[in-house]
Amino acid sequence: MGEIFLEQAIQIEMKKITVAPPIMLEGQMRRAIVKDVSITIHQGEWITLLGRNGSGKSTVAKVAAGYRVAGAAGQVIRNIQTAAKGRPLPIVMQQPEAGMIGATPWEDVVLMLEQNELPGDEIPLKAELALRSVGMGERLHQSIETLSGGQKQLVAIAGCIAMSSPLLVLDEVTAMLDPEASSSVMEQVRGLHKSGVTVIWITQKLEELQEADRIIAMDEGAIVFDGQAETWFARTAPLQKDSICERLCFEAPYAAQVAWELQEQGVQLSPFPFTAELLAKAVKQYGR
């Protein structure tokens, strides 16, 4: 794949990306796991990348982040730099401890920066500031083994921040966390987004959506939706359960289900509420 660097508000542009891994066994058919995917990512966006297991969303994220993916074809135009120039963007995974190499949060971030060949005199302070920015300032030297799952995710996110990454890729980081830990991680990442960081948030949980998020949904390796949440939940008629959300068999948040039921009773709320906050606001303003 070719890479071109532009000086524009577009950070990453993926053009007709297809990924068909090489055949490993004799007689095996070569099958594309990503099919003709084109995505443009702008600075400051929050992109919620939705898809079931095997839909290709994680593979697309790896290509966007600059990793070498076997069997990938197409073009990636990138205008994004980290402190480790020329290296892929770090990706925060479901189980961050698998990639942790330090005994403490501070040591883990320091070793990550050393591996990426950042200037040695900058590393200690960068590590500390990054950990403090995600609320881990009081646990700099606590044993990694004693941290909760959510705290380990925050350490992994701090590593990305220390690398001066203007774009964060988080792959189902709340999938194995309890609600309290999930909320804590989400709060920290939303805060980083408000500061200007672009976020690609990979998930299967629609309750993590917020107003103004851009949704990109994948199914069987292809993009089947790219737009705003209001369109994602939109039905053609009150009694028609034919929104894209329903057609792809995603479980809608409770607020969206309430709004659909109200539609069926003749109560049309606009804009469509899919969070508790939006639902409360829409009900309060209804009929004014």
pLDDT above 90 coverage of the chain, percent: 67
Residue-wise pLDDT for 217-242, tens only, equals 999 999 999 999 889 999 999 899 99
Nearest to 197 by CA among 154, 156, 160, 155: 160
Whether 191 is in a domain gets the answer: no
Handedness of CA 248, 250, 253, 259 (dihedral sign): positive
User: How far from 7 is each of 47, 77, 79, 81, 190, CA to CA, in Å?
Assistant: 21, 11, 6, 11, 26
Strand partners, 155: none
Instruction: Please give the span between the terminal C-alpha atoms of the chain, in angstroms, as a whole number.
Output: 55
pLDDT for the residue numbered 27: 59
Residue 85 pLDDT grade (very low, low, confident, very high; cuts 50, 70, 90): confident
pLDDT for the residue numbered 141: 95
Residue 5 has pLDDT above 70, yes or no: no
Is 252:233 a contact under the CB 8 Å cutoff?
yes
Residue 7 has pLDDT above 80, yes or no: no
Whether 24 is in a domain gets the answer: no
pLDDT above 70 coverage of the chain, percent: 94
262: three-class secondary structure by DSSP? helix
What six digits make up the tokens of 56? 């290709």
Whether 268 is in a domain gets the answer: yes
* C-alpha–C-alpha distance, residues 43 and 64, integer Å: 14
In whole numbers, what is the pLDDT of the chain averaged over residues?
Answer: 90
How many domains in the chain? Answer: 1
Residues 121-127: what's their mean pLDDT?
A: 92
Is 50:28 a contact under the CB 8 Å cutoff?
no
Whether 45 is in a domain gets the answer: no
Residue 150 has pLDDT above 70, yes or no: yes
Residue 58 has pLDDT above 80, yes or no: yes
Whether 242 is in a domain gets the answer: yes
Whether 119 is in a domain gets the answer: no
* C-alpha–C-alpha distance, residues 250 and 17, integer Å: 25
Residue 26 has pLDDT above 70, yes or no: no
3-state helix, strand, coil in the chain (%, to 5): 35, 20, 45
Residue 4 pLDDT grade (very low, low, confident, very high; cuts 50, 70, 90): very low
Stated pTM of the model: 0.88
Residue 61 has pLDDT above 80, yes or no: yes
Residue 28 has pLDDT above 70, yes or no: no
Strand partners, 236: none
Residue 98 pLDDT grade (very low, low, confident, very high; cuts 50, 70, 90): confident
Task: Specify the range with the lowest mean pLDDT, choosing from 81-85, 110-114, 213-217, 247-251.
Answer: 81-85
Residues 101-110: what's their mean pLDDT?
A: 93
In what helix (H) or strand (E) does residue 232 lie, and over which residues does it extend?
helix 229-232
Is 102:108 a contact under the CB 8 Å cutoff?
yes
**In which domain, by residue range, is 266 found?**
234-285
